[in-house]
Amino acid sequence: MTAMTTPAVGPASGRPAARGRRGRVTSSSMRGAATGQPAPRPSAARGPTGPAASVPLTQRAGGPDLARGLALLGIAMANTVGWLHGTQWTVLLKQADATVADRIVDVIAALTVDNRGFPLFALLFGYGIGVLHRRSLARGERSRTFLVRMLRRHLVLLALGLAHGILLFSGDILASYAIIGMLCAVLVSRRSRWLLPLAVLLTVPLLAPWGWADATYGLIPADGYPDASAATYIEGLEIRAGDMLYGVGTALVMDLGLLGPMAIGAIAARIHLLEQVTPNRDLLRPITAGGIAVGLAGAVPLTAVLVADPHHAWFASEVGLGILGVLHQLTGVAGALGAATGAALVADAVRGPADAVRDPADAVRGPADAVRGPADAVRGHAGESSPEPSRRNPVAVAVHAVEALGATALTAYVLQSVIFLALYPPYTLDLGARIGSAWSAVIVLAGWLVMIVLASWLRRAGRRGPLEFVLRRLAGSTSPRGSDPGSADAASVGPSIAGSAHSALGSRT
C-alpha cells in the first residue's frame, strides 16, 4: 500500500485496516535461480551445532546495505502519513488539500516510494533467509537445526516488533515480517525446487487488495489514524496495543502477500545474485532497467489522479480507482527488484574491480547466519571487492556512508519512530496537524543525514547498532572470536561469515 508503513487502524475503528494489518516482480528467469540448489559442503570449522558467527562489518556485501540505507529515507517519508492528521485523505493516503510544495513531495513519493519500499525490504529479507540456508547446508546442518535457529530469531524479532508497534508506531512491519518470514524459512528448507516459485505465483497477487485500498481511501471520510490524533500518550498506547494484537493475530491471512517478494529474494540467493556481481552482471543490468521502468510506469496513472483530481470531483469510481491502485501495487514489486539489483551494481562499481570469481560453493563462507531483522545485511564473501572506499572519491565515500546506515537499519527504523513521536502527536509539538509533506520531508532528510553520520561512526569503530546487538545477543548469534577482518583467518573459507537479512525496515511502502 501506499506508505512503507501504513499504520493500522485496528478492528475498533470501523475503517479498513491499514496495510500493516492486512495482508501486502514480476518473476524473472534468473538463470536457474528457481531450480538451482547448492550442494551441501562439510563444515569448515565448527560442527553443525555450533553457534552462527557474525560476519565482520568490512566483509558485508554492499548492495543490500546500500538498498536498505536509501530505502530508509523513503520509508520515513512514506511513514509520515501515519503521523499527519486533520486533513481529508486522497489516494495513497496523501492529504487532499496540499500546497504546491507538498504535492511535489507527494508525487515523488508516489512514483518512487509508495508500494515500492515494503516489497524491497521483503525481498531483501527473503534473500537473507536464502543465504542463511545456503550457509547452513555448507556446515552440514540438518533442516531441523536451521529451522530451530530461524524460529528463535524470528521470535526475538516478533517481540521487538510488538514493542515498537505498541510503544511507538502502530504501522510497525517487524512483527509481520517475523511471522511471514518464518513461513518463508520453512519453504526454503524444503528440498522441492518448485515450492518458492509456486509461492511467488500464489502470493504476489494477494498484494492486490492493499493497492485497491490505497487508491480508494479518499472516497471515505478519513483524515488520519486514530493514534496520530490521540490527546495523550496513554490514549495512543491503548490504540496501538489493540492494533498490534489484531495485526499479529491475523498476519498469516492479512499479510501473506509479503511472502511473494520474500520468495523472490530467496530464489535470487540461490545464485548469489546480489553478492557476486561480476558473474551476474549480464543478468543484473536488464533486471535493473526493466524493473525500474515497470515500477515507474505502473505508478504514473494513480499519481496522475493524485495531481489532477485529489478530491475526486470527476473520477470517483471505486472500481476505476481500485484498478489503478492494484496496478500501482503490483508493479511496485518489479520496481523493488530493480532497485535491489541496481544497488548491487552501484555498490560494486564504487569498490573497483572484483577479484576472480570463485566457485559458488567457496562463496559459502560459514555457518548459517541469523535473520537479524530489518537491520541485517546480506553479507558477501571476502575477496569479492575492496571493503573500503577511496578517500579521494566523494561518490564512493557517500555510497559507503549510506551502506553503513543500511547495516544499522533496525536501529535506524526504530529511531525514526522516536523522532516522529517527539514531534508530531498533539501531546508533543503537534506538527502532525500543522505541517504537510514538504516540511515533513525536510525533517526526514535531516534525520536521515544525522543517522548516516552516527552509522558511519559505528562502522569506523567496528560496532553494530544497539538494536542489532540486542537482537544478536538474544537470538544467539555470536561475534567472531579472535578473527581480524583483515587476517588470513577472516579471509579463509570458514565460519566467520554469516549472512543476514531482512529488512524490515520498511514497513509498507
pLDDT tens track of the chain, all 509 residues? 444 443 333 433 434 444 433 333 333 333 343 344 444 443 333 444 444 555 555 567 788 899 999 989 988 998 999 999 999 999 999 999 999 999 999 999 999 999 998 899 899 999 989 999 999 999 999 999 999 999 999 999 999 999 999 999 989 999 999 999 999 999 999 988 899 999 999 999 999 999 999 999 999 988 889 999 999 999 999 999 999 999 999 999 999 999 999 999 999 999 999 999 999 999 999 999 999 999 999 999 999 999 999 999 999 999 999 999 999 999 999 999 999 999 999 999 998 654 333 433 343 333 333 333 333 433 333 334 444 545 568 899 999 999 999 999 999 999 999 999 999 999 999 999 999 999 999 999 999 999 999 999 999 999 989 999 998 888 876 444 433 333 322 222 222 223 333 333 333 44
- Does some domain include residue 308? yes
- Considering the entire predicted model, what is its pTM? 0.79
Q: Is residue 503 part of a domain?
A: no
Range of the domain at 440: 59-385+397-475
What is the largest distance, in Å, between two alpha-carbon atoms of the chain? 68
d(CA 94, CA 102): 10
Per-position DSSP letters for 187-249, written without gaps between them: HHHSS-TTHHHHHHHHHGGGGHHHHHHHHHGGGS---S-GGGG-SSHHHHHHHHHHHHHHHHH
Q: Spell out the residues 6+ positions from residue 10 whose beta carbon is closer than 8 angstroms to its own.
A: 17, 21, 170, 226, 239, 242, 243, 246, 247
Q: CA torsion angle for 74, 387, 356, 268 (degrees, to 10)?
A: -30
31 found inside a domain: no
Rounded to the nearest 10 degrees, the angle between the axes of helix 233-254 and helix 174-189 is: 20
In degrees rounded to 5, what are phi and psi of residue 60? -75, 145
Cα–Cα dist 444/71, whole Å: 12
Helix 277-308 vs helix 318-351: crossing angle, to nearest 10: 150
Say how far apart CA 452 and CA 214 lie, in whole Å.
Answer: 31
Q: Per the domain annotation, does 497 fall within a domain? A: no
Asked if the structure places residue 6 within a domain, the reply is no
Residue 501 forms part of a structural domain: no
What residues have CB less than 8 Å from 392, skipping those under 6 apart? Answer: none
> Does some domain include residue 50?
no
The closest of 229, 416, 299, 260 to 2, measured between CA atoms, is: 299
At 89, give phi and psi (nearest 5°).
-75, 155
Q: How far apart are CA 290 and CA 487, in angstroms?
A: 40
> What total number of domains does the chain contain?
1
**The cell 537479512 sits on which residue?**
501
Sign, Cα dihedral of 252, 254, 257, 258: negative
Does some domain include residue 406? yes
